[in-house]
Amino acid sequence: MAVAMAQLGKRGGTRALALGLLAPGAGYIYTRSPLRFLATMGGFAVSLAAWFASGNIVLPPLLWVMTAWNARRQAVRGRKTWNGARTAIPATLLGVVTAGTIARRRAFRAAQDRGRARAQYLSNVPRLDPQPSDAVRQELSPDDLATLRSLLDRALQPLDRFDGFSKVDQFQTSAIRYQLNFMQWALASAQLHYTPSFHGYLSAAQRNLIDKLTVPRIWRYWAFEQTWGNLSLDWDPMKRDNIMLSGYLGTMLGVYESNTGDDRYRRSGAMPFRLGKRTWPYTHDMVCAAVHDNMQRSSMTLFPCEPNWIYSACNMTGINTLLLSDRLHGTRFRESVGEEFQRRLHDEFITPDGRVTAIRSARLGITIPMLTSTMADCGLASMLHAFDPELAQRCWSIVRREFIDTSGPEPAIALRGWDAIDTGNYRKTHLGAFAPVMWAAAEMGDTELYELLSDSLERQQLPTESAGTRWFDALSTNMNAMLALARFNPPGGHRALIAVGPGKAVLDGPILHGVSYPEVLVASTHTDGADLHLTLYPGDGPARVQIGVDRLVPHRGYRLRGALEDELTADDHGRLHIPIDLAGRTEMSLTPAL
């Protein structure tokens, strides 16, 4: 219709408006305003970036229509026009569309060729089934503890304090919420695999990270995105879309409850999300139900982060939230949506060359190819492992074979799109891709590659060690948190965090609880349900300390080894307070007296 209006219209204003509707700023070519045309193209590019980054669906069409109308006004007011634009603009657009179609078809055929080649070598890749029991280490090393302290120091701040966090924006990957997510997952992984019978400050830090997500500055972004992306003033943070909050939070809640047996977040009003006078009180069960309901409503089952944009990796946190709910609470979410989720993932998000696309528009179906990158593949492999281990292995096998080269003096990671930046602060660096690749290598049991990358990272960027902490200053907080997650992730460790959790002996047996931080650092705790074995380090130099053990049999005697007393009796509540000297690595054990 716009082409017909441009060709048949008798008035200059009508022609300018029609040409302006054909392409952003095209009306200015007709009115001989090249600077306005260039400014419109630049502004439209910015509006598209805003649409991608924050779901602002209003800005691109608004800018387009306003510039078309402004070109009409210029023509109506008598500005000289170029009549040739009536033919040149449609012809140029036709040429662009034709060239784009040809390029897409060629790219599609090339992708199919890559897919066939990949399918051939993938058919010969041995089936992987990494297990945490394959890990050599059974306790946290001094470097592990220094890394852990860096997370704890940030996590244990008051809820409204965020010292040591990267602060750039709250809409995209540098947002503080992702730093909270990955910190808590790292702490939960360390807890499950190395200190399963220790709660104390380690559990308190995880609760603090969960509670920080309810602070308005962390989730206020959704009020903007819901308003300009879904054209709604219903700012409920999880009712519609926003899996980048609900899915990640649901996984945090699930792994915390799984590790500790603490169900406090299932109680009414456990997580109040407040903006001004409005409050949305959520519980763990409500978060899980919101994720499930969004999946049921979505035509692709996978549902959006920002309004319109569906990220495959974010949806892995959503399905993991549901897996945890089924295991912990007896829900049947996987039975309800799991099969359709997997079908849609394979049908809608697998590219012709066999990779998983990172992003797709829920409204238009389009993708952004540059975001399907090495980092995206690796993060997806790690987070997908519990739900679809075969697809997770395929993602990792492609990365390992095609995008990582270990033949040179330093291992090289193929960088594409956003691989070349640290997504936690948007700074350009080739080191930003190390963290997700190391996490995937650890999860998939490629310990050799993990060690190669870890050693290479420390040669290229020496970590800062200060006051008992260890931190890569050149990397963002989010990448440091992901590096910690990789460090604490034994083979198949994230899958176990989601799908298995601790055994009954851990959940019912004695726990180390009353410990002062950073005076006492806990490197390992293990129980068979009756006894307790600990490895401790002093955090502030040699000291005589007192530790508390809970969940013992009231009034029962316990023999101690490595403490200042040989035997103590649990109090009425099944607790013991044990004095111990810490001068270095210290082992202590507690066993029931006969």
pLDDT value for 555: 95
The helix-helix angle for 477-487 and 176-193 (nearest 10°) equals 20
**What pLDDT, on the 0 to 100 scale, is given for residue 2?**
56
Model pLDDT, residue 27: 84
Q: Where are the domains of the chain?
A: 2-97, 148-499, 504-592
* pLDDT at position 3: 57
Spacing of C-alpha 545 from chain mean position: 38
pLDDT of residue 547: 96
Supply the CATH classification number for the domain 148-499: 1.50.10.20
Residue 1: what pLDDT? 66
Token pair in block for residue 385: 């492992």
Q: pLDDT tens across 389-426, in order? A: 999 999 999 999 999 999 989 999 999 877 899 999 99
User: What's the sign of the alpha-carbon dihedral 363, 367, 368, 371?
Assistant: positive
Model pLDDT, residue 443: 97
Question: What class is the 504-592 domain?
Answer: mainly beta
Could you give the C-alpha distances from 587 to 9, 139, 156, 512, 543, in angstroms and in order? 89, 11, 26, 13, 15
* pLDDT tens digit sequence for 14-68: 888 878 888 898 888 888 888 998 999 999 999 888 888 888 888 998 999 899 8
Residues of the chain predicted below pLDDT 50: none
Rg of the Cα atoms in the chain = 28
282-330 pLDDT tens trace: 999 999 999 999 999 999 999 998 888 999 999 999 999 999 999 999 9
DSSP per-residue codes, 86-107: HHHHHHHHHHHHHHHHHHHHHH
pLDDT, position 50: 86
pTM of the model: 0.93
Q: Would you say 12 and 81 are in contact if contact means Cβ atoms under 8 Å apart?
A: yes
**What CA–CA distance (Å, rounded) separates 417 from 431?**
14
Contact 386, 380 (CB under 8 A): no
Tokens of 316: 């892995």
Q: Tell me the C-alpha distance between 223 and 245, whole Å.
A: 13
The rounded distance, in Å, linking the Cα atoms of 197 and 272 is: 30
**Contact assessment for residue 560 and residue 570, using Cβ atoms and an 8 Å cutoff:** no
